[in-house]
Chains A and B, each alone.
Chain A
Amino acid sequence: MGSDTRTASEKADFKQELTDVVPHLRAFARGLCGRADMADDLVQEALLKAWAAQDRFEPGTSMRAWTFVILRNAYLTDMRRNRFRGDYDEGVAERVLTAPAGQEEPLHLSDMHRALLTLPPERREALLLVGAGGFSYEEAAEICGCAIGTIKSRVGRARAALNTMLSEGNIPQRAIGDSAAHRAILEELDELASGHSVAARG
């Protein structure tokens, strides 16, 4: 399935499909890393990687799932390189929640988003994929490189945590203000990246 075997029509199709998923990549990235500007940087990085790797995309399969894998791994790589680390202590949510032009998020949505950002990354991404992106558990498991049961568990734990935070109004003002929690999350990221990341290494 090398580049020489791709017809011009297939290449055009790839480009169109890639273009079509950009809004979804932006939404997933913003949920993952919080800040809109960083999320867009991440999406651009993922788009370039996807473009460079287009020969490995199987026409007829899900472009959204394929590019989400690339985006997710670019995110994990960047996280491990400290790219986003410094921003967690600065009250990410407050800046994240600057709604796009012309849109105001209702307060409860802001609370929800801030609470979402307090979740460990692997639970947050599972909830984003299934609860927001509309992926099946199976698809989410493939994207994250783990078992379906693991995804179900992560989604369940994420939901339980959000339920508790939102029903009790106990939402941290800072997304990750606690250094111990921050460290734990970074350790989880390392584990995620080393155990399951087959995409976008280096």
Chain B
Amino acid sequence: MLTTLLARVLNKGDSVVPMPSRNNKASPAPSRRGEGGPARAAGGEGPEWTQGLRQLYNSVVEEPLPDNFKELLAQLNKGA
């Protein structure tokens, strides 16, 4: 999969990289799976701060979207 990705990038010289992963939705806290095995950085036997790390991330995710983002997204809509 990675080889394909690299080949595509090298061939096109693209400025962005389409990802082949099939995890389509932006779920707030996707489970950690994959061929790389489970990552235990935020759970299990980890120290207390690992939960805090997730908490910091989620606290931003849950913030209301600032107006300037809404405006930007609206502008993208118009251009579509």
- Residues of A in contact with B (beta carbons under 8 Å apart): 11-12, 15, 17-24, 26-28, 30-31, 40, 43-44, 47-51, 53, 56-58, 60-66, 69-70, 99-100, 103, 105, 108-109, 112-113, 115-116, 127-128, 130-143, 145, 148, 151-152, 155, 159, 162-163, 166-167, 198-202
Contact, CB under 8 Å: A61 / B52: no
Contact, CB under 8 Å: A166 / B49: yes
Contact, CB under 8 Å: B22 / A26: no
Count of interface residues, chain B, beta-carbon cutoff 8 Å: 59
> Are A19 and B61 CB-contacts (below 8 A) given A109-B52, A127-B53, A130-B32?
no
Contacts of B41 in A (CB 8 A): 127, 130-131, 155, 159
For window 32-51 of chain B, which residues contact chain A by CB distance below 8 Å?
32-39, 41-42, 46-50
Scan B1-43; emit 1 where CB is below 8 A from any A CB, else 0: 1100100010010111111111111101111111111110110
Our pick among B12, B25, B39 for the contact of A131 (Cβ within 8 Å) is: B39
Contact, CB under 8 Å: A148 / B36: yes
> Are A135 and B80 CB-contacts (below 8 A) given A49-B16, A112-B53?
no
Contacts of A48 in B (CB 8 A): 72
Contact, CB under 8 Å: A26 / B52: no
| Chain A interface main SS type | helix
- Residues of B in contact with A (beta carbons under 8 Å apart): 1-2, 5, 9, 12, 14-26, 28-39, 41-42, 46-50, 52-63, 65-66, 68-69, 72-73, 76-77, 79-80
Our pick among A21, A27, A112, A137 for the contact of B34 (Cβ within 8 Å) is: A137
Contact, CB under 8 Å: B23 / A64: yes
Contact, CB under 8 Å: B34 / A56: no
Contact, CB under 8 Å: A137 / B36: yes
Our pick among B26, B34, B63 for the contact of A139 (Cβ within 8 Å) is: B34
Contact, CB under 8 Å: B34 / A138: yes
Closest to A151 in B: B36
Contact, CB under 8 Å: A64 / B26: yes
Contacts of B22 in A (CB 8 A): 60-62
Shortest C-beta distance, A146 to chain B (Å), equals 10
Shortest C-beta distance, A192 to chain B (Å), equals 15
Contacts of A108 in B (CB 8 A): 48-49, 52
> Are A70 and B16 CB-contacts (below 8 A) given A100-B59, A108-B49?
yes
Contacts of B38 in A (CB 8 A): 136
